[in-house]
């Protein structure tokens, strides 16, 4: 089970082998961004790491139930950590909704020895309200989609937080705010898909 934190930076591609960090340059919608990947086998994410990361990837092996359990426990700990933050630092609501978090099932090419099903991964992703994708680093299946999807999620979350911030500054009555929030939740539930990394 690996935990990866991504930080979005300015243009340019570099790899820092000494510190174990890798930076990848990605072009999305005509805008270039660098994703710095910080990998950790540690299940415990500090509050500083959690708040500093733009995206968090929780990776498990589809051939190892223990790694899947560890990934699920990691999501639980992150949700608890997020819920301990002040409400002002969670513009998109409680839990992991304010962070671009993606559950990644790796080794999807090993179909004959697969133990953790795609449905298991989706179920956990839906439970924690995070995105989900299966990859195979060996045959490079869905790796580019994961990186572009992580950047897309970061940008979508930032836009949604900015829109909500503007909305909170507008002068709504209490009843209007409640109605607006219920409508947004219904729309969000209707179109929510943990598999689509290009939608919230």
Furthest-apart CA atoms within the chain: distance in Å: 58
Cα 49 from Cα 35, distance rounded (Å): 15
Q: What is the pLDDT of residue 24?
A: 82
Does residue 4 have a pLDDT over 80? no
Does residue 25 have a pLDDT over 90? no
pLDDT tens-place string over residues 90-121: 655 656 777 889 999 999 999 999 999 999 99
Beta strands in the chain (DSSP E): 2-9, 15-16, 21-28, 31-40, 55-61, 100-106, 131-134
Mean pLDDT taken over the chain: 77
Q: Give which of 129, 72, 70 is closest to 98, Cα–Cα.
A: 129
Cα 89 from Cα 122, distance rounded (Å): 27
Q: What is the pLDDT of residue 98?
A: 75
Strand, coil or helix: 19: coil
Cα 48 from Cα 53, distance rounded (Å): 9
149 or 85, which is more confident? 149
Cα 119 from Cα 155, distance rounded (Å): 27
Confidence class for position 161, pLDDT limits 50, 70, 90: confident
Radius of gyration of the chain (CA): 17
- Considering the entire predicted model, what is its pTM? 0.75
Q: What is the pLDDT of residue 123?
A: 96
pLDDT tens-place string over residues 54-75: 888 999 999 999 999 999 999 9
> Any residues with CB less than 8 A from the CB of 123 and at least 6 apart, and which?
none
Task: Decide if 72 contacts 43 (C-beta within 8 A).
Answer: no
Q: What is the pLDDT of residue 121?
A: 97
Stretch 73-82: mean pLDDT, rounded? 88
């Amino acid at each position: 089970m690996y935990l990866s934190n991504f930080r979005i930076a300015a243009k340019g591609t570099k790899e820092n082998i000494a510190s174990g960090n890798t930076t990848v340059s990605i072009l999305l919608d005509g805008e270039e961004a660098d994703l710095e990947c910080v990998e950790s086998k540690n299940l415990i994410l500090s509050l500083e790491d959690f708040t500093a990361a733009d995206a968090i990837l929780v990776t498990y092996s589809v051939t190892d139930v223990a790694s899947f359990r560890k990934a699920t426990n990691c999501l639980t700990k992150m949700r608890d950590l997020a819920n301990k933050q002040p409400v002002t630092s969670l513009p998109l609501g409680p839990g992991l909704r304010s962070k671009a978090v993606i559950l990644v099932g790796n080794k999807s090419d090993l179909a004959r020895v697969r133990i953790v099903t795609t449905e298991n991964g989706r179920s956990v992703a839906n439970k924690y309200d995070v995105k989900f994708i299966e990859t195979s680093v060996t045959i490079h299946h869905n790796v580019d989609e994961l990186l572009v999807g992580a950047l897309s999620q970061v940008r979508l979350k930032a836009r949604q937080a900015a829109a909500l911030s503007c909305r909170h500054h507008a002068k709504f009555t209490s009843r209007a705010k409640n109605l607006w929030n219920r409508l947004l939740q219904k729309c969000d539930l209707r179109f929510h898909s943990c598999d689509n990394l290009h939608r919230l």
